[in-house]
Amino acid sequence: MAQSEAHHLQEIYQRLTTDSQRLTQQLAELTATARAMKQQLNGEGHLDLGTFSDQLETFASIEAGNRQIDALNARHDTAVTRLTHAQLLLPQAYFAKLQLDFGDGDAEALYLGKVGYTDENTNDLIYDWRAPVADAYYANRTGATSYQANGRTIPVTVTQRQQFIIDHDQLQQVIDTNAAIGDPLLLDVLASNRSGGLQEITATIQQEQNAIIRESRQPIVLVDGVAGSGKTSVLLQRVAYQLYRHRDSWTPEDILILTPNVAFSRYIRGVLPALGEAEPLSTTYLHLVQSWGRRFGVTIPTTDGNHLAELAKIIQDPLVQTPAGLAPAAYAQSNDRTALLSRMQRAWRWLQAVDRVPEDINQWLDWPAFAQELGLAELTPYDQLYLLLRFTNFQQTTTAALFVDEAQDYAADTWLFLTALYHNADLTIVGDHRQRLTGQAITIADYFDPAQTAVRHLTTSYRATGEITRFFAQFAGDWRTTIQAVQTAGTAPQVLENADLKDVLADLPVTTGQSIGVLTPSPQRATELAAQLPAAQLLTGEGTRTVRPGINIMPLTVAKGLEFDFTVVTDWTAGFYTDDPLGDNRRYVAASRGTKGLILIK
Ligand SMILES: Nc1ncnc2c1ncn2[C@@H]1O[C@H](COP(=O)(O)OP(=O)(O)OP(=O)(O)O)[C@@H](O)[C@H]1O
């Protein structure tokens, strides 16, 4: 069996290699043809617009030239996509094989890869992991299951399920998961080093993760999952899935990912290209607000001190007087018993209808006077932007799907702002309510319409050894008894008293290429320690560095979402980690960053 699989791989590998060479050659020829065509068109040069029939002839020849260019472009794009796919598949053509019985007793074999690949007759040689039928693989077992395709449920029996470890044309291992308990490939992957950015998890996506990645019934998906449960991984796999599902209408530019800081953006960069997709846009919340502010002529230095939560309530109440700066005739379009929000939206529509919209929307109202009318000391620029979005019922069209990571760290204002701005976009929001490092606890689901929201939980933690997982679980409050570890025990975390950081680092059983994260309570402490350790790199929130092999020093706020082979936490008994109410949350975040080793220095 393994021999015929080895043979099959050789065949596919050979085809991918030959196709890559042929497509590279074809692209070179297409480029040469395009160049020649351009020269020819330029040479034909002058436009003869003399008589009417000359004009017709000239336009017909331009049109024919355009058609040739379009055909060339289409051939070029097809060749580029196929070449990209062939090259992506060369190192690992596929990761699994399913034998499926659709009820006719005739088993059908299909191979799954990071992208799909067909032969010249469009027979599927490799199925894309995002194809509907691939869902049967992620049920993670053999036997009867079903998948959704074109709005129909298709029942199917998985008669055999195999996973492959492949290195180019070498079939290194076949894992028959018919009878296997657990997921040996998953454990193998989890034991590997974490020396840089996050990796794609296509081959080992677990069932509860798959359900989130493929959720298609609701436009809003809200995930609350424990540390290391794969939230960021799931978010990125879902980006790839959404791009596949909407491949006829969306491009990566239609997607926006909100990340906590630049170091994190860099940490996740690479996952989507590894899945054959271009990098989507990612930004921090403050940058997002600032860029929308610029479009409305509002400069927003900070979101601090905002009144969005109060404003959201206030604008639901009636306001009798005409807001300062607004033409009374516009406001008089509505009844003074209706809510301020509806009145302002009507006033806006009226102003549009009579062509009296102010040239600079930013100047629409007299903000200090309006603040007084609303009973507020001031309206910050961020408040003003929020009101402008709501009053003008602004519909953004640049983003089709918004993804938010580390959601627990955003306060109420973020959800009010995002729901106002992105009410026509798909939203995927992932976080862990116990990893909140600042602010007040809120229930994110309260900001979304339950009829449009799928709420999911992830309770298995994949990142760390069993010992580390059980250790950090003790600080996880209501998650404490929920968190499940999948990895074997490993070494127990150590708590050291008055230990010298340099000695601790020197004693770590680190091998080449492994990463160490040194986590401090504050940025100042991180800078101070980095100065004492010349070999270490300092990570800051706005800096462009991300995790690399060796020693990485950073404050806890920057370590959020990241992971290291070994983690050393300094000042473990300082107030930062023991104070109520956030001390335990901070301990939970800090202790859940290491995959193989954890040392806490008192
Ligand atoms: N199904 C999976 N297969 C392989 N690896 C996985 C899987 N799920 C998660 N992992 C790995 O577990 C680690 C944690 O994943 P990830 O960072 O996505 O979790 P998280 O829930 O976002 O964590 P945190 O909230 O602590 O930042 C990563 O190394 C990821 O590659």
Both tokens assigned to 73? 């472009």
Each residue of 97-152: pLDDT tens digit?
Answer: 999 999 988 889 999 999 999 998 999 999 999 999 999 999 888 899 999 998 89
Minimum CA distance residue for ligand 1 atom 19 = 230
Query: Cα torsion for 533, 534, 539, 542, to the nearest 10°?
Result: 130
Measured from the Cα of 589, ligand 1's closest atom is 26
Residues of the chain with pLDDT under 70: 1, 43-49, 178-182
Annotated binding-site residue numbers? 225-232
Minimum CA distance residue for ligand 1 atom 18 = 230
CA distance 126 to 92: 11
Each residue of 340-378: pLDDT tens digit?
Answer: 999 999 999 999 999 999 888 888 899 999 999 999 999
Measured from the Cα of 593, ligand 1's closest atom is 26
CA distance 558 to 530: 15
Q: Which amino acids bring their CB within 6 angstroms of ligand 1?
A: 186, 189-190, 198-199, 201, 204-206, 209, 225, 227-233, 432, 435, 462-463, 561, 563, 592
- pLDDT of 47: 63
CA distance 260 to 555: 14
CA of 199 to the centre of ligand 1 (A): 9
CA of 464 to the centre of ligand 1 (A): 9
Name the 3-class secondary structure at 525: helix
Minimum CA distance residue for ligand 1 atom 23 = 228
Annotated binding-site residue numbers for ATP? 225-232
Minimum CA distance residue for ligand 1 atom 28 = 463
Considering all CA atoms of the chain, what is the largest pairwise distance in Å, rounded to the nearest integer? Answer: 95
Q: What angle do CA 85, 91, 96 make, to 5 degrees?
A: 85
CA distance 553 to 526: 6
CA of 527 to the centre of ligand 1 (A): 28
Ligand 1: which of 186, 200, 201 to mutate, judged by most atoms within 8 Å of the beta carbon? 201
Minimum CA distance residue for ligand 1 atom 30 = 230
Measured from the Cα of 560, ligand 1's closest atom is 27
Measured from the Cα of 562, ligand 1's closest atom is 27
Q: What is the ipTM of this complex?
A: 0.99
pLDDT over 90, % of the chain? 77
Measured from the Cα of 430, ligand 1's closest atom is 22
Measured from the Cα of 229, ligand 1's closest atom is 21
CA of 24 to the centre of ligand 1 (A): 36
Minimum CA distance residue for ligand 1 atom 13 = 463
CA distance 544 to 401: 25
Residues 6+ apart with CB under 8 A from 41: 65
Ligand 1: which of 233, 236, 434 to mutate, judged by most atoms within 8 Å of the beta carbon? 233
Q: What does the DSSP 8-state code read for residue 445?
A: G
pTM over the 0.95 mark: no
CA of 43 to the centre of ligand 1 (A): 58
CA of 111 to the centre of ligand 1 (A): 25
CA of 590 to the centre of ligand 1 (A): 15
Ligand 1: which of 186, 190, 556 to mutate, judged by most atoms within 8 Å of the beta carbon? 190
Name the average pLDDT for the chain: 92
CA of 391 to the centre of ligand 1 (A): 41
